Structure 1
């Protein structure tokens, strides 16, 4: 299984106008963070978690020639805003894109992309097949996917475990019962938006504490705001088995 971090950033804390902080002005490519998304490649199958507004560029940058399914964590625009661009994959495969999310999220997608689900759709619009999931494990392309329930302040969100890999973003709470789904992991990815406490996201210390509690072989921090600072500097302070993820980083599990 190959994991590609297509994006490790966040809209959180990003000003409307151009930012002149050290992170945003950095020449280090590891400080250039597009909205958080990850690609899971198993054999010849590609599964995406979240298609934010940077989706099109992320897929072009990573040269992703095929995409079989998209899992959504929740309905916020920074995680769903690029869904329209699946039309390129529709054109290549002549098939609808398989989208998986819980009922509430699918209903939000129907509103946001109403033209895709109209009775008489306009020619050339994205073709999307919606699949409703719950907190129960399900089969996707003969691959078991285990949803992980968390909270994003008051909004329920889902993380996912596939094999020995788990991805949690936009969490600021996970129950003890859900943590039991995260045992014996090779890689755990957790959001850590900044060092200071945040109302709806794990802070960096909270993300590190969760990784240390779960004890995966390796932990990575994603959904990183520019407030967290420079990759080269901040990464020095991490425990030996925890790192900041960066865009286009690839892992083999």
Structure 2
């Protein structure tokens, strides 16, 4: 399968609108971007799966020159992962959108119900409620939703496997370092891990909640309570023994001299698994 990173940034992206910080200026000078998160997966069978609907949907697809999705998954209902769904209007005749069926105590409905309620005007979209930990097949791929930790909302990571090539893609999802053990077991040993790492651990001093899930050296692996630090994401890659780890959901608050390190993804990267 071919994996294309359509969007590798956080909720504001890099460069950020109206920002002239060193990191945004460095991105401009390098000619790279980190738009809002989204991943395109083309199976060996020749069909495509979209993971999350970035608000930058139109731009991402035109820039990457990839086919519109034959199926899609929504990991959670934050706007930077969902609000691009409206872009499929007139682009698809029948688009199954898979989302978790667990009721979120914060919203009173599941991710699947939220997607259906917000986009009920899209006749081409059929929402497919999906149970976590239960693999399902779509577009020639086997996909499993795995619960992670992204308070206050329920959120899910993913394991995507291509039975024809044997390739395995794991996504941490938007998460703190406190991913449940059962989910970690499923995500382990992937060819490629996309790990959510938003800022360096040193930035935790600027968060009202500070940092959490400190390692043996006292380094926080979670920034606040929603996202892993860069250090936490790297440690997750080591813990899961991924063949390769790429850090995603990166913010422009990473110092410019470190913001484009070798393991930090930028939009447009492609991987054959």
**Which TM-score bucket, shorter chain as reference?**
0.7 to 0.9
Deviation at 1:15, TM superposition (A): 11
Query: In the TM superposition, what are the counterparts of 1:120-199 in structure 2 within 5 Å?
Result: 127-135=124-132, 136-163=134-161, 164-172=168-176, 173-195=178-200, 196=203, 197-199=223-225
1:248: which partner in 2? 268
Unpaired runs of 5+ residues, structure 2, are 102-109, 162-167, 204-222
Q: How large is the RMSD of aligned CA atoms in angstroms? A: 2.1
2:30: which partner in 1? 28
TM-score by length of 1: 0.85
2:81: which partner in 1? 79
- Whether 2:249 is the aligned partner of 1:223: answer yes
**3-state secondary structure, aligned to 1:111:** helix
> For residues 33 and 42 of structure 1, do their structure 2 counterparts lie closer, same or farther at Cα, with a shift above 3 Å needed?
same
| More helix as a share of residues | 1
Unpaired runs of 5+ residues, structure 1, are 117-125
| Number of equivalent positions | 233
Alpha-carbon distance between aligned partners in 1 of 2:251 and 2:258, rounded to the nearest angstrom: 15
- 1:52 corresponds to which of 49, 54, 61: 54
**3-state secondary structure, aligned to 2:190:** coil
Alpha-carbon distance between aligned partners in 1 of 2:16 and 2:197, rounded to the nearest angstrom: 21
Query: In the TM superposition, what are the counterparts of 1:10-25 in structure 2 within 5 Å?
Result: 10-11=10-11, 18-25=18-25
Deviation at 1:210, TM superposition (A): 0.8
TM-score by length of 2: 0.79
